[in-house]
Amino acid sequence: MSATLSPTFYDDSCPDLKWIVDSVLQAALLKDPRIGAKLLRMHFHDCFVQGCDASVLLDEAQGEKTAQPNLNSLMGFDVVDSIKSAVESACPGIVSCADILAVAAEVSVVLAGGPSWKVLLGRRDSLTGSKRLANRDIPPPTSTFSQLVKAFKKKGLSTEDMIVLSGGHTIGASRCASFTQRLYNQSGSFQADPTIEKRYLFNLQQVCPRNGDGNVTQSLDFSPRSFDNNYYKLVVSNLGLLNSDQVLTTQSQGSAALVSALSRDQTSFFNRFAVSMVKMGNISPLVGNKGEIRNKCRYRN
C-alpha cells in the first residue's frame, strides 16, 4: 500500500506545498508555542484510527473529536483550517487534508529543532470517522508497557518504533487529568506511583492537587519547545510525566536499555524518529480513487 505514496506526489501539481505549510506554521507558532506539539499529536491520533486519512478532522456528532482520547485535549484544528485554506488558494482541489497533517507534523518537528524526513504523499481523505475505533485504538496515557506494545503492533509498528515515537513527548504538555492517577491512586492503591522521583512527585502535586482542575497543563519535558533527547534523560531519571512514559524503563529491561541509549545519543534518536514517522505515516492510507480530496477538512464534500 505504501508503495503508492511518494515524496514527489505534488511536485508538479502543488510544488509550493511544504513552503505554504511552513509559512502558516511559523505564524501560528508566534501565537501558540505549543502548536507544533499539537499537530504532531494530531497526526498520530489520525493514523491510529482507520489509518492516516484525516478522519480525526471531521466535525461529526459521533466523530473522533468526541472520543475520550481527543475530547477537550486534541487541539490545533483552526491552524489546520488555515493551512488548508492557504493550500487551496494555491492549488485548489489537489492536496488532501491527510497529507496536510503529515506535512505539518514534519514541519513542526523541524521548526522545533528536530530531524527532517521525506514525507510520503498521495493519501486521500476518508468519508467518515469512528469514535468507537478512536476509543479502542489510541493508547491512553495510563497504558502499561505491554498495552503499548500491543497497540503499536496492531498498527504494524514494532516495540522500537513505539519507544522512538514516544520521544515525540519531548515537545508539548499534558493535562493533569492524564496523569493525576499516578500522583494519588496508582493502580487503585490510593498511593502515588512509587517509581516517580520524590521531588518531582511533590512538584506535580502542587501543579495538580487532588480533585483540582484536570485541564491545567504540565510540560512533558523540561525543554518543551525544543525537539531534543531530553525526554529520554528524564525517563531514565524517573522523571517521566505520564505512566506511558515511565513504563518504558520500569516494565521492560530491553526497553530500558534503548531508552538509556537514546538519552546519550541525540543523533541516533533523530535518525530513528524520522524512520519511524515514515512508517507511522504509512498506516492504511486511502489511495487511488478511494475516499476524496476534501474542500474543507472538517466536512465531507
Secondary structure string (H, E, C) spanning 42-106: HHHHHHCCCCCCCHHHCCCCCCHHHCCCCCCCCCCHHHHHHHHHHHHHHCCCCCCHHHHHHHHHH
Helix, strand or coil, per DSSP, at residue 263:
helix
In the chain, % of residues over pLDDT 70: 99
Q: Which three cell numbers stand for residue 286?
A: 486511502
- pLDDT on residue 3: 47
Q: Is 221 annotated as a binding residue?
A: yes
Mean pLDDT value of segment 76-85: 98
**Half-sphere CA count of 27, side-chain side, radius 13 A:** 11
Q: Is 142 annotated as a binding residue?
A: no
Active site positions, annotated: 45
Q: Is 49 annotated as a binding residue?
A: yes
Mean pLDDT value of segment 266-270: 98
Mean pLDDT of the chain: 97
pLDDT greater than 90 at residue 1? no
User: pTM of the predicted model, to two decimals?
Assistant: 0.96
In the chain, % of residues over pLDDT 90: 98
Mean pLDDT value of segment 19-35: 98
| pLDDT per residue as tens digits for the range 39-77 | 999 999 999 999 999 999 999 988 999 999 999 999 999
Q: Which domains are seen in the chain, by residue range?
A: 16-138 (1.10.520.10), 145-277 (1.10.420.10)
Q: Is 43 annotated as a binding residue?
A: no
pLDDT band for position 4 (cuts 50, 70, 90) = confident
